[in-house]
Amino acid sequence: MSAVVPQPDAEPGYPPGWLVGQLPVGMRDDDLLVRFVTIFERVATTLRAGADGIEHAADISVAPPGMLRFLGSWLGRDLVAPEQPIEQARALVAALGAALPLRGTAWALETLLSAVAGVPVRVEEGGGVFRAGQAPPAPRMVRVVTTSTGHLRRHEFADLVRDEVPAHLQVEVVVQQQPAAVRAQPGGEERA
């Protein structure tokens, strides 16, 4: 005679008894064993539902802000601010992921800094790949030119650049002011 165990409402897609049903037929007759496995089934239903949806937790297009901050830190940078708009945070985490495999290159630095600043950033450097003996004398300087530092203060932005650039190179960060809008005045004069 099989033991009848009341089942809690299972998550959608997990009918009551899904784990107990995995027991061999002879074991399903043991009331104590069925009750014991039912305890694990109740816990596992929640864990299983979480595991089944894990691809959505790490999908930056739908991940909540807390997960975006975690993903950013997991990629090596705590750059996602809690007050940052969600779309900017998603763009920043995407840039972190794209830049990681090419870290140390001008492209990766531009990608990361552009996402942080929210505007295009230009990186000027003298590196490259050359045949043996054909490399020009390269300046030991990386110059970063931007019009914004995004949600970071200037010194935080400069520290980020220094962290990303090889230690033997000097760094110059130039934050240019955006030109004021020019309007035409009656009589042909232009004013800012």
Where are the domains positioned within the chain?
A: 8-52, 117-192
Looking at this protein, which amino acid is placed at residue 174? V
Q: What is the pLDDT of residue 57?
A: 65
pLDDT score, position 8 = 47
HEC per residue, 102-132: HCCCHHHHHHHHHHHHCCCCEEEECCCCCCC
Res 128: pLDDT: 74
Tokens of 6: 């009341």
pLDDT of residue 11: 45
**Which of 114, 116, 93, 172 is closest to 140 using CA atoms?**
172
Q: What is the pLDDT of residue 159?
A: 93
70 contacts: CB under 8 Å, gap ≥ 6: none
Residue-level pLDDT at 154: 93
Backbone angles phi, psi at 124, to 5 degrees: -110, 125
Grouped pLDDT means (10 residues each) for the chain, 192 residues: 46 75 90 92 83 72 88 86 90 91 90 94 85 81 93 92 89 82 53 48
Q: What is the CA radius of gyration of the chain?
A: 28
The two beta strands, 141-146 and 190-191, are: unpaired
Angle between helices 65-74 and 86-99 (to 10 degrees): 20
Q: How far apart are CA 40 and CA 19, in angstroms?
A: 8
Per-residue confidence (pLDDT) for residue 134, from 0 to 100: 84
Bridge partners for 124 per DSSP: 143
Residue type, 4: V
